[in-house]
């Protein structure tokens, strides 16, 4: 393997990507960010920024020149939208990045995937990496991420070692997606407990997710036979009972607890109705409910960490308790 030279981070101004870039800066690494949103503060600190889109194959391939490691954190995310738009970014963009790695002799590609790539409409408890990738899902995000992950792992070779990480529900201080949306729906009174309210869910603190990415890079050098060409679930390794955790967070922020329930079959029916309405009319934004959201809010989805511990040496440093305390403090100013 070649020594680590310049490091490319796609999506390096996003929530996970920026935290990863900050850690790489602290390590004294030479870094290039490829993304859509400029980051002048990072440029002032010596980071090279290339403004571009994963929908531009030539641009993403050119960004790979002189790079030893690529962290591919960029993606089209969300639970709703035209399949073709997700496909262009999550499949064609990833495909172009793989080709750029091959053209320019990149040695390591760490791909940020998602546990939703194994969605099967069933509860997932202590699920491991033996689950097949989804081919049927009522959301384009898992479908396209599954295709992208499959192509990344298929590209693994002696010259380009690849790995896919599946961090689940990344959260922490500065999260612009998961927690803000949750709090907004709770404050507006639009949040409902779907199902019995006793489902267990894994999450991962953003700093733990960064640790996993760096551990994956190291494993591609130190443990390539075991780690390369494989996917790994990444979590805090302490699944929470989702709705009590949500209500405890709301209580700490003086937001009324969620008490009202809706059954999973009814939530899925409402979700299907919303999907049809948003597709036909069409309406702006994301529907308030979809079948995929209903499943995620009602069913178990937590995962075995055995493979990541064994092959990557990944162990979460920040617990759910300490991370939640830090989050509450940041939101309350206390």
Is 74 within 8 Å of 13 (Cβ atoms)? no
Distances (CA, A) of 311 to 105, 115, 160, 261, 263: 25, 18, 18, 41, 40
All residues at 6 or more sequence positions from 185 whose CB lies less than 8 Å from its CB, including other chains: 191
Q: In what order do the strands lie in the sheet with 240-241?
A: 124-127, 301-303, 200-201, 240-241
Query: Considering just the CA atoms, what is the radius of gyration of the chain in Å?
Result: 20
Catalytic residues: 141
């Amino acid at each position: 393997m070649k020594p680590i030279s310049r490091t490319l981070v796609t999506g390096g101004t996003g929530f996970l990507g920026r935290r990863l870039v900050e850690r790489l800066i602290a390590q004294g690494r030479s870094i290039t960010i490829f993304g859509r949103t400029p980051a002048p503060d990072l440029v002032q600190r010596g980071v090279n920024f290339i403004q571009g889109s994963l929908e531009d194959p030539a641009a993403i391939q050119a960004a790979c020149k002189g790079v030893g490691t690529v962290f591919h954190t960029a993606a089209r995310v969300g639970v709703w939208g035209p399949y073709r738009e997700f496909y262009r970014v999550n499949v064609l963009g990833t495909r172009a990045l793989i080709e750029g790695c091959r053209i320019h002799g990149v040695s390591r590609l760490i791909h940020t995937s998602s546990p939703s790539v194994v969605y099967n409409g069933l509860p997932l408890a202590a699920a491991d990496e033996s689950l097949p990738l989804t081919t049927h899902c009522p959301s384009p995000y898992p479908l396209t991420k599954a295709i992208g992950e499959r192509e990344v792992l298929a590209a693994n070779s002696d010259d380009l070692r690849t790995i896919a990480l599946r961090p689940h529900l990344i959260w922490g201080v500065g999260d612009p997606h998961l927690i803000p949306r949750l709090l907004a729906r709770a404050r507006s009174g639009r949040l409902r407990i779907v199902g019995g309210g006793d489902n267990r869910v894994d999450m991962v603190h953003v700093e733990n997710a960064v640790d996993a990415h760096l551990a994956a890079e190291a494993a591609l050098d130190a443990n390539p036979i075991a780690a390369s060409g494989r996917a790994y679930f990444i979590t805090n390794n302490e699944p929470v009972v989702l709705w009590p955790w949500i209500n405890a967070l709301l209580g700490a922020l003086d937001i009324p607890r969620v008490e009202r329930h809706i059954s999973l079959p009814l939530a899925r029916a409402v979700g299907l109705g919303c999907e049809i309405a948003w597709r036909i009319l069409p309406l702006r934004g994301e529907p308030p409910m979809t079948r995929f959201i209903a499943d995620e809010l009602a069913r178990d989805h937590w995962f075995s960490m055995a493979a990541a511990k064994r092959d990557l040496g990944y162990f979460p440093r920040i617990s759910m308790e300490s991370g939640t305390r830090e989050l509450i403090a940041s939101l309350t100013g206390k």
